Structure formats: C-alpha cells, structure tokens
C-alpha cells in the first residue's frame, strides 16, 4: 500500500508544527477526491437563535467553539494551534474517534464572508466528499437564522451510506441543541 502524500508545508500558512506527521502516522486520513458527479447526499438544517448576527457569527469565527458544537461521542479534538485566523485558505486539522477508530480530518476554508457565510471543505478525512456552507441571516424582528448546507459522500457509500447519513443527521441535531442552549431560541 502506498504511503499517503503529505501536503507541502509551504502550501499552508495556517498550520501547527508536526500536524502532517500526526495526520500521516497516527490516524486514518485519506485524501478527499474531487466533487463526485452523482451519489451526493445533501443535508439542510436551520435554526433561529435569540442573538444578534454579529455575536452569532463571532462565535462561529472562533474555531475553538467547534468542539462545543460536536457531540461527545465523536471524541473531537482540534489539532491546529489556536487561535486560528479564519480566512480563505485557512487549514484546520481535527481528530475524531468513531467506533474506536481514530480519524484525522483536515478542512480548508474555501469562502470567508464575515457576517454572511463561510464554506469549509474536507481535504483529508472520513468522507470521499464533504462541503459545508454556513449561512447567517439577521432576522428583522430580532435574532439570527443559522443555516447549514452540507453536501457529502461517504467512502464505500454503497456499504456505509445509510449509517453515515444517520450519524451526520445525529451530529447536526446535536449542533442545533448546542446552539439553542448557547444562544436561546428565538421566540
């Protein structure tokens, strides 16, 4: 089996020392491919929280808060040195443990529009394809609408698709509960 190719350090302005080594040697972290032409699963969630847009976006702009939005059963940890400057091209390395298997995950911020939206895409990790758009809308009568648009395809989708889709739905249900607890729901 060929050893996975490490992304050159010069290509990553935002990174932690030794992160590639961890990705290559400690956890399973295959490269994601190009966007598949078919077989994608799409998930959309929406929640209206009782906080102003700037406060909600600032919460999401701090990558350290991602752990609070991730269910404990994933044993999620951020491996990139904090704080992470969020901007197009920023790389964030994580690790999850799923069913006892440590899995490395590297995301890149492809779009960063403060106060409006951002998009993260998996470069390495458990999915053949993962693209997550986060949208934020101020509600004229108060509060913020948070919309998650996720497009994904699991590896070995013919075998794992149902289980992975159920897990992703559980992750985003937890995320909505966490946002509700943190900001309160808009009446």
147 in a structural domain:
yes
pLDDT at 101: 84
119 in a structural domain:
yes
Number of domains in the chain: 1
Q: In what order do the strands lie in the sheet with 117-124?
A: 41-49, 144-154, 127-138, 117-124, 101-113, 91-98, 77-78
pLDDT at 43: 92
Predicted confidence (pLDDT) at residue 20 exceeds the cutoff of 80: no
The CATH number given to whatever domain includes residue 141 is 3.30.530.20
Q: List the domain range (segments joined by +) for residue 116.
A: 15-183
Overall pTM > 0.75 = yes
3-state secondary structure of 117: strand
pLDDT, one tens digit per residue, over 46-79 is: 999 999 999 999 999 999 999 999 999 999 999 9
Cis bond leading into 83, ω under 30°?
A: yes
157 in a structural domain:
yes
2 in a structural domain:
no
Q: What is the DSSP letter of 57?
A: H
pLDDT, one tens digit per residue, over 101-160 is: 898 999 999 999 999 999 999 999 887 888 999 999 999 989 999 999 999 887 765 555
40 in a structural domain:
yes
4 in a structural domain:
no
131 in a structural domain:
yes
86 in a structural domain:
yes
């Amino acid at each position: 089996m060929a050893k996975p190719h490490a992304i050159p350090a010069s290509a990553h302005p935002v990174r932690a020392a030794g992160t590639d080594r961890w990705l290559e040697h400690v956890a399973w972290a295959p490269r994601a491919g190009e966007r598949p032409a078919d077989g994608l699963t799409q998930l959309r969630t929406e929640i209206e929280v009782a906080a102003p847009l700037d406060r909600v976006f600032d919460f999401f702009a701090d990558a350290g808060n991602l752990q609070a939005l991730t269910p404990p059963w994933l044993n999620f940890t951020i491996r990139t040195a904090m704080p992470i400057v969020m901007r197009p091209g920023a790389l964030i390395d994580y690790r999850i443990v799923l069913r006892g298997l440590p899995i490395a995950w590297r995301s890149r911020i492809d779009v960063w529009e403060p106060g409006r939206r951002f998009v993260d895409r998996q470069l390495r990790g458990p999915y053949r394809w993962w693209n997550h758009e986060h949208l934020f809308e101020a509600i004229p009568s108060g509060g913020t609408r948070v919309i998650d648009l996720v497009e994904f395809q699991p590896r070995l989708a013919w075998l794992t698709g149902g289980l992975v889709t159920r897990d992703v739905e559980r992750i985003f249900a937890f995320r909505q509960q966490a946002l509700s607890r943190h900001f309160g729901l808009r009446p």
